[in-house]
Amino acid sequence: MHLLFVCTGNLCRSPVAERLTASWAQKTLGANAAALEIASAGTGAPVGEPMDPRSAAALRRMGGQPDGFRSRPMTAGMAEEADLVLTATRRQRRLVLEMAPRALRRTFTLREAADLLSEVDLDGLRPLSPTARARELAVRLDARRGYRRVSQEDDILDPIGRRQAVHDETAKAIATALRPLAGVLFLGQELHGDVQPFEDGIAAGY
């Protein structure tokens, strides 16, 4: 399974999504999580910068680890090789598709994917391998996309340069959207409420 998260600078939103997803994968799959590729990049990212310290602090409070993270610019190959691409905003989704139009059917904003998930039939996903599950989920999300109206509510605020509370709220928005998707990707079923192993940070209000 190859997941790619995309924002602008690859300093706040996409690193939070990457490292939080990696943490949940480790808690859910144990040693099998090593076979997954969970990555992030930015449409206008610098090379080799650490996470924004405020987003790193928000991530730590949710159980994720920012240590060793380094930013990187997105390339067409990254999107083309991913089984599922999740962006922070509609604009970033458009920029990804300008670079990698062949990734259309597996590229969504994070909130768009989370919302579409409630309309998707999840039958038959659990027995699939992680890679096949991610690819099949992308197909099913894409099939429902035409029935949904895109809006500014699909965008997750960029907290760069803002106070800690904004970074906390942004991290919370990311975690809330990611939670049900992680349940399907790792377990083959949608999770609701404070269900282990996804309760870290969520139950605490992050």
**Cis peptide leading into 127, omega within 30 of 0?**
no
Is 13 assigned a catalytic role?
A: yes
Catalytic, 121? Answer yes
Question: For the sheet containing 2-7, what is the strand order?
Answer: 37-42, 2-7, 84-87, 107-109
Q: Is the dihedral of CA 40, 44, 46, 47 positive or negative?
A: positive
Residue 43 DSSP label: T
- Domains in the chain with CATH codes: 2-187 (3.40.50.2300)
Measure the CA–CA gap between 7 and 15, rounded to whole angstroms: 9
CB 138 within 8 A of CB 79: no
pLDDT score for 189: 55
- Please identify which of the residues 61, 105, 111, 121 carries the catalytic annotation: 121
User: Which parts of the chain register pLDDT below 70?
Assistant: 188-206
Which residue is catalytic, options 12, 13, 179, 200? 13
The first and second tokens of residue 5, run together, are 């998260």
Q: In the beta sheet, which residues pair with residue 86?
A: 5, 108
Per the annotation, the verdict on 7 as an active-site residue is yes
pLDDT, one tens digit per residue, over 65-123 is 999 999 999 999 999 999 999 999 999 999 999 999 999 999 999 999 999 999 999 99
Neighbours of 36 (CB within 10 A): 21
- DSSP designation for 88: S
84-87/2-7 β-pairing: parallel
pTM of the model: 0.91
